[in-house]
Amino acid sequence: MAARAYRWRWAALAVLMAAEAMNVLDSTIVQVAAPVMRADLGGAESDIQWFGAAYTLPFALLLVTGGRLGDVAGRRRVFVVGVAGFALASLSCAAATSAGVLIAARAVQGATAALIIPQTIGLIRAMFDGPELAKALGWNGPVVGLSAVCGPVLGAVLTHADLFGSSWRAVFVVNLPLAAAVLAAARLLREDRAARPVRLDLPGTGLAVLGTGLLVYPLIEGDMAGRSLWRWGAMASGVVVLMVFARHQRRSARRGRSPLVEPSLFHNRGFPAALVTSTLFFAVMNGLMLVVVAHAQLGLGRDVLTAGLTLLPWSGGLALSAWVAGAYLVPRHGSLVMFAGLGALLAGTLSAIAVYPGVRPTGWPWPLLGALAVSGVGLGLFTVPFFTAALSRVRPHETGSAAGLLNAVQQLGATLGIALLGSAFFHDLASPAGPGAASVAAQHALWVAVGLITAATATATLMRGPRE
């Protein structure tokens, strides 16, 4: 009986990890295929950015609310609803006939992903305890990391293969068998919910969505110098709405309600600094990915497979350095490894800026591949120690809110990176210039990344205690 229960628990864990991989994969798999989608469906160049941002923005903003829904209605039930909704949204993406329809379906995908991801940790905690719990939770990092690394290359391979004439639509169709398998095996999961009643903070959710949307929309839709007055007004309104959101959260906490964000997390500078650092870091990670792919396809006229394979050194460097950091470096040097990662990321980005003028439409851009490999090493060295350092001073009753916030700002950072670096690239690409316009556009976008990395280094310093 004990052996059977053991096998049941690990089979259930595999179900949860498959769902998590499916969601993380979808946040990166579209990056490489986005230019092909726009060429097929038409629309503005900014739609290339929206194909990614329309997923990551609702994903970020609804993560905490999704977790609360699991507390209220049952985590297994919300998980199943989320997976079913994700499958239907993926089918809608694959069947989209215009850029607008695809963007709307991507937003639904992101919203349903926000129902799935928060339930996985809660369900794992319900199934495991003791040493088994630590071992089960330990699978989360490798699965998420491997999914993120494989996404761009898999997107390129599926789009290039053009199976049955599916082209880019295959990157969404691939979700359907995964979702069907997860739903079929969901009976292995044990229902679980919060021990005490929890209320949904719907006004807080609405304020967060509205404020962030007002900030992000103008960033994607045009360059800073050429924005019309209404766009500046929208961004200012977004700041005001987010200030109202912060006040609402403090008031909810004082009245004993269940705010989206636990205000006590902000009493120490370490966790707010971690939130800002995470936002900046993942902005660089996702923004760089978009620029490299867009430069290869739109600037140099290379096919989608070449664009995807260009990111292979990046992915390989990330995977290898993450393993080395986890196995050897972090146990010996702790949070100092974060700064080594940021240094490598900065060195790789500056190297890419230096070599971009020499990248030609024919042949492999060998110097750029080396720069991307160094950047990938930096990504892996940073991510492994970061989350441990970010949660090191969080008290037990704050852990759920803190983990939800870190996941949310990760996706928000991805959205901002697509907006900032993408806007810088596409603005310069559209400007009248000579044959090297694409490389100049990529360089300018990467200088934005350099600024973000520098800021992330400063905020990461604030995460460390006085004796570290």
pLDDT in tens, 291-312: 998 888 888 888 888 888 888 8
Q: 155 is written with which tokens?
A: 């997107």
Question: What confidence category does residue 2 fall into, taking pLDDT thresholds of 50, 70 and 90?
Answer: low
Instruction: Indicate the length of the chain as a whole number.
Output: 468
Instruction: Determine the 3-state secondary structure of 224 from DSSP.
Output: coil
Cβ-proximal residues to 370 (8 Å cutoff; 6+ apart), any chain:
313, 351
Q: Per mean pLDDT, which range of 24-33, 270-279, 423-432, 441-450 is the poorest?
A: 423-432
The CA–CA distances, whole Å, from 48 to 25, 104, 148, 259 equal 18, 13, 19, 35
Cβ neighbourhood burial of 246 (10 Å; 0-12, 13-18, 19+)? middle
Answer for the pair 278, 409: CB distance below 8 angstroms, yes or no: yes
> What is the C-alpha separation between 377 and 163, in angstroms, rounded?
33
Q: Is the dihedral of CA 433, 435, 436, 438 positive or negative?
A: positive
Chain centre distance of CA 326 = 21
CA angle at residue 144 from 140 to 146, to 5 degrees?
120
Q: How open is the CA angle 58-443-316, to the nearest 5 degrees?
A: 65
Q: What is residue 148's predicted lDDT score, i.e. its pLDDT?
A: 73
Q: Quick one: pLDDT band at residue 335, thresholds 50, 70, 90?
A: confident
Distances (CA, A) of 213 to 61, 407, 451: 10, 18, 23
Place of tokens 């100092």: 336
In this predicted model, what pLDDT tens digit does every residue of 212-255 receive, in sequence order?
888 777 777 654 444 567 777 888 888 898 889 888 888 887 77
Residue 141 has a pLDDT of: 62
Task: For residues 158 and 252, give the distance between their C-alpha atoms in angstroms, rounded to a whole number.
Answer: 47
